[in-house]
Chain A
Amino acid sequence: MTSKGFVSIEGKQVAIENEKNLLELIRKAGIEIPTFCYHSELSVYGACRLCLADIEGMGIQASCSIEPKDGMKVKVHTPQIREIRRTNIELLLASGHHNCTTCVKTGYCTLQDVARKLGVKELRFKEADTRKARNTHSHSIVRDPDKCILCGDCIRMCSEVQGIGVIDFAGRGSKTEVLPTFGKDLADVECVNCGQCVRICPTGALSSKSEVSQIWADIWSPSKKVAVQIAPAVRVALGEMYNLPAGENATGQIATALRMIGFDYVYDTSYSADLTIFEEATEFLQRFEKGEKLPLFTSCCPAWVKHAEHCYSDLLENISTCKSPQQMMASAIKASYVKEGGKREDISVVSVMPCTAKKYEAKRPEFSVNGDSDVSNVLTTMELARMIDEKGIKFSELEPGAFDMPFGFKTGAGVIFGTAGGVTEAVIRYIMGIVVPSADYKPVCKVLHEDASLKELELEVNGKKVRIAAVNGLKNAKKLIEDIKTGKKQYDFIEVMACPNGCVGGAGQPVTNSSQNAAKRREGLYGIDGQQQLHKPQDNHYITKLYDALQSEIGGHKAHELFHTHYHNRKRVNISPRSEEGKVHVNVCFGSTCVRHGAKDLVRQIRQYAQSKNINAQIDVSPSFCYEKCTKAPVVRINDVEIEKADIEKIDIVLTKELTKAAQ
């Protein structure tokens, strides 16, 4: 790479390459300059005023916002800069209630870390005297505004990377807050619980909701058996908490640790990942053959599923009805336990996930029987480390152990689920295995496009082309869906993972400053896949045995009962219905799909129509809650008659009829 000149940083000449800003160049020079609000994956915000640099001729500037130029002379540690940094940290510490020792983020908190490094020992400023309300209703995320330093990282993550935007700044000046829409609780807005905000939050203002105490209680309960399952992505990340390099396989040690903690059965979610492929690939092949409800979207990611329920009610029937591996595993464990004579409520299932949304998924009412959730509690990777530490287990000194059978057996396909594109590859391995029984497990297909967020493949099945996409990051998914809706892109099968890089980059994983870690974890998973004897899901004979035991075929009745689910439309409701007695009710659906399909214009047309026919007094036109018929938008209901893909002609016919009826 040719150099674009040199910058003198603390007297050292540093070559400019492709650094986006001076901050990156300073880091390249080996100086860890403090910042809260600069992240390479987010836009430059410039608010924390810590990454200061004294540039000759320009004075003190925030290095995140300065383009490095040849000949610049920069100092990053001067008496004035030191004073500013310490003052700003003191101001932040005084602005809230940080209570470091009892904070869930202690030890992983950037604010704590920077304060320690700068040697802030006293607060000269008046400390805040009021407390703000915490959000505790979400199953996944706890929001504590008293610890918020308003760096805006969560906001930019939610909108810029995930394309959702459920949180934003509200208020102004010292009354500024980060708030979910209209100041509601996180549980009551369109948050998908992906937890990327938690991952990026430099303080304890956003954290995952810990269920550690309930899990200890279950473990210690004499009447209970507790089974634990660990997701694929956990095994290549937990080691980072114990100074192992990212991506290093710690499966064996984790199994040992889980047993030492006191779990009765130690299982591997990779097993149910294999199982998921049996059901999902079968479902796909059936749909593909019939050519209906395509493209099929995967359903393993609960954040994506909830997002679709909020925003793509017209696509809900395209989402695979398969439960996620976490839920399939719990269903299988509970069903087997009952089959062997146990009582359903006597066994509880804990899962260790790289994810915060899995906590929410476990609490979905569809996944419980008479109030008994299939998965009782969910631990994130980091929370498992907390339990290991609490028990006093010296993780790095553990001898590797093995999973319990049958739900501890897996093929490599079940392991790669933990990284973006893994589900897709597992499906392809399964389908190829059926189509060409002798084929090697490595997929033979045409790669049409591949970058960090999107992979497009083409596969030939019985002479027909299957168009496949695997996308990660919800904002990227949003764009893909828009392209599908506008006809720019066409697919048959689409994998969506809400988090960038898939589950290895989940919000439950160890917090790290290195963006390289997700990639290393991914390599780790493929490494484990390589070490397996089996690579195709259908080679998992414990799954064949499970179907035999359930006396069900793949996709059969019993399998459907246990391994499939359904979805709800959670579209924003913004209109309250209103009606007047004795009138013909004309209700126009004002769900956002109908609005996009001209519902607003339709209301205007109906009003004009009523005016022209002089029937204003006889009818009551009002917008309505979403009728959840988004594929048939716009929808109008006249008394009890529903008109799909409504236009004024159709309305005219029904309305005339209803008015005659009413007159009689």
Chain B
Amino acid sequence: MSLEKLNDVIAILNEYDNNPSKLIPILQKVQQQYNYLPQDAMTFVANSLGIAPSKVYGVATFFSHFSTVPKGRHIIKICDGTACHVKKSEGIINAAKKRLGLTDEKHTSNDFMFTLECVSCLGACGIAPVAVVDDEVHPQMTPEKMTALIDAVCAKEKANA
């Protein structure tokens, strides 16, 4: 764990007065720093809050927002809530999986460029089916639109490389 990031973790802990009841917001901010929750960081948080590291791990694995493995640079969320489901979100999910070479167990592409998350409802049911790429909501999706979106992000990455 590098010092730069450690300093950030310390700042986060101080922001919450090293209060163990603030574990979830603390982990949320730590995850923002690292894009996932490394064991070192979780152990450090546990030590600082005076709680068992197993408890931090327990919380980190309970909530779907937390990840204990590194995520891709771009996060694709596809909604599979009821409204999206009845409007065939499954096809969109499959298209994204196929395009990125992912499976039910494998959520992050080999090059760590994309992580695909199926979420249960983004509350944007009126414009179902919905996908979110890097916090930008895309309404009324189709499998073709999904593939095109991924292609566009790839093209951008290439241009910037």
Residues of A within 8 A of B (CB): 159, 164-172, 179-183, 189, 572, 574-576, 578, 590, 592, 595, 600, 603-604, 607, 621-623
Contact = CB atoms under 8 A, between A and B. Distances in A.
Contacts of B57: 168, 170, 179, 181-183
B6 A575 contact: yes
Contacts, number: 78
Given A182-B54, A574-B44, 20 more contacts: A165-B54, A165-B55, A167-B54, A168-B58, A171-B62, A172-B63, A179-B57, A182-B39, A182-B68, A189-B54, A572-B53, A576-B40, A578-B3, A590-B44, A592-B47, A595-B47, A600-B13, A600-B48, A604-B10, A621-B3
B43 interface: yes
A65 B88 CA distance: 43
Contacts of B10: 600, 603-604
B52 to A, nearest CB: 3
Contacts of B44: 574-575, 590
A572 B1 CA distance: 14
Interface in B59-110: 61-64, 68
A172 B62 contact: yes
A574 B43 contact: yes
Nearest to B47: A592
B3 A622 contact: yes
A592 B51 CA distance: 12
Most buried by A among B6, B42, B51, B58: B58
B7 interface: yes
Contacts of A171: 61-62
B43 A572 contact: yes
By Cβ-Cβ distance, the 4 closest A-B pairs, closest first, are: A165-B52, A168-B58, A168-B54, A181-B54
Contacts of B52: 159, 164-166, 168, 181
B2 interface: yes
Contacts of A604: 7, 10
A285 to B, nearest CB: 36
Contacts of B68: 182
Nearest to B53: A181
Nearest to B14: A600
A572 B6 CA distance: 16
Contacts of A183: 57
Nearest to B43: A574
Contacts of A172: 61-64
Secondary structure dominating the interface of B = helix
Contacts of A590: 44
Given A170-B58, A171-B62, A592-B47, A182 B53 contact: yes
30 contacts: A159-B52, A165-B51, A166-B54, A167-B54, A168-B52, A168-B57, A169-B62, A170-B57, A170-B58, A170-B61, A170-B62, A171-B61, A171-B62, A172-B64, A179-B57, A182-B39, A182-B42, A182-B53, A182-B54, A182-B57, A572-B47, A574-B44, A575-B44, A576-B40, A592-B47, A600-B13, A604-B7, A607-B7, A622-B2, A623-B3
B7 A603 contact: yes
A590 B48 CA distance: 10
Given A604-B7, A607-B7, A576 B54 contact: no
Contacts of B55: 159, 165, 168
A572 B45 CA distance: 12
Nearest to B11: A604
Given A574-B40, A574-B43, A179 B6 contact: no
Given A574-B44, A592-B47, A604-B10, A179 B54 contact: yes
Most buried by A among B7, B44, B52, B54: B54
A180 B58 CA distance: 10
Contacts of A575: 1, 6, 40, 44
Contacts of A578: 2-3
B65 to A, nearest CB: 12
Contacts of B47: 572, 574, 592, 595
Contacts of A574: 1, 40, 43-44, 47
B70 to A, nearest CB: 15
Nearest to A165: B52
Contacts of A166: 52, 54
Contacts of B42: 182
Nearest to B51: A165
Contacts of A623: 1, 3, 6
A455 B58 CA distance: 36
Most buried by A among B40, B51, B52, B62: B52
Interface in B18-64: 39-40, 42-44, 47-48, 51-55, 57-58, 61-64
Contacts of B39: 182
A143 B72 CA distance: 34
A576 B1 contact: yes
Contacts of A169: 58, 62
A347 B151 CA distance: 73
Contacts of A167: 54
